[in-house]
A and B are shown apart, each in its own frame.
Chain A
Amino acid sequence: MSTAQTLVDEAVHEKIMAAAEEIKAWGEAAEREARDLVNQPTINNWLEAMGLESDRFHQGEAPPSMAQVWTMYGQGGRHPDRDPLHAMMNVLTDAGFNGVLGTNSEQSYDRYLRVGEQVRVTTALDSVVGPKSTGMGVGYFVTSRSTWYVGDERVATMLFRVLKFIPKVTA
């Protein structure tokens, strides 16, 4: 592939794409339970910070875009060893692509969560595309797919894309 050859050493590119295929094959991995049940105090903090006022979020429902909040790692949280997104980011960091920039978040909600529900999440590596020449520098777009469940019911999904890049040297 001529673009790969001109932007990134071919051997490095081949190694990155081989790692991507291996990590993709893990499928939905890094399953984690939310630290807390969906709960009113956390909803209230979010409503206050965002300035969103809605009675329904005081009557048992949680704002849909909070789906991701419940399974955030929190302060000092550690990623599991086989977290597909971070494993792929580490591969790229080790290859010199040490810059990171979130570029896209695509969330879909099957339904609103309810106070008292226990949420869990899985993460899969969806795609690695590159190398691309971008305004930030040469890099690869890494897309992961998170899926949230309550029990066996899927409640939300997210495609999340980051650019891992070699920062341009600024004058």
Chain B
Amino acid sequence: MKAGDEIPVWELPITPTLVVSTAIATRDFQDVHHDRDRAQAAGSKDIFMNILTSTALCERYVTDWAGPGVQIKGISIRLGAPAYPYDTLSFSGEVTEVADGIATITVTGAVSLGAHVTGTVRVAA
């Protein structure tokens, strides 16, 4: 792993099943993640992905690339556009720094409305 290494783009179709199953698997029962009527009443277009899942998918993206032996030290994300069903979440990433035994990987997960998630995943180099 060295600075400049690029991670191949990963495209994940966002389905209602994905949004609901990941919300429940992260034990997040907020209605906006599984009930479209309630989500729309709250001013949202549809149900949308929860934050624990945005973090988890960054974990998966880096793990799928680096291999299961990777030791993840931290995941920091900033949230942008909501990830709604029937959109596509497109991940791209690059190793931006390797220093003091830690590789910092910059990750972006984009949807049609713009960046859903931007952040860094720190792994043991």
Residue numbers of A with Cβ under 8 A of B are 42, 45-46, 48-52, 54-56, 63-66, 68-69, 72-76, 101-109, 112, 167
Structural contact, A103 and B78, CB atoms closer than 8 A = yes
Report the minimum CB–CB distance from A49 to chain B (whole Å): 4
Structural contact, A104 and B78, CB atoms closer than 8 A = yes
State in angstroms the CA–CA spacing of A45 and B72 once bound together: 21
Structural contact, B60 and A52, CB atoms closer than 8 A = yes
Structural contact, A65 and B78, CB atoms closer than 8 A = no
**B43-70 vs A: 1/0 string, CB under 8 Å?**
1000000011111111110011000110
Structural contact, A74 and B27, CB atoms closer than 8 A = yes
Report the minimum CB–CB distance from B41 to chain A (whole Å): 14
Main secondary structure of the interface of A (DSSP, over half): mixed
Structural contact, A107 and B22, CB atoms closer than 8 A = no
Q: Which residue, of A64, A74, A75, has the highest number of chain B Cβ atoms within 10 A?
A: A64
Q: Which residues of B contact A64 (CB under 8 A)?
A: 59, 72, 75
Structural contact, A109 and B74, CB atoms closer than 8 A = yes
Structural contact, A105 and B76, CB atoms closer than 8 A = yes
Question: Which chain A residue has the least Cβ–Cβ distance from B80?
Answer: A103
Structural contact, A108 and B74, CB atoms closer than 8 A = yes
Report the minimum CB–CB distance from A1 to chain B (whole Å): 25
Q: Which residues of B contact A49 (CB under 8 A)?
A: 18, 21-22, 24-26, 53
**B69-100 vs A: 1/0 string, CB under 8 Å?**
10111111111000000000000000000000
Q: Which residues of B contact A72 (CB under 8 A)?
A: 26-28, 52
Report the minimum CB–CB distance from A40 to chain B (whole Å): 13
**B20-36 vs A: 1/0 string, CB under 8 Å?**
01101111110000000
A-B CB proximity, top 9 nearest: A49-B25, A72-B27, A106-B76, A54-B68, A108-B74, A49-B21, A75-B29, A49-B22, A52-B60
Q: Which residues of B contact A104 (CB under 8 A)?
A: 76-79
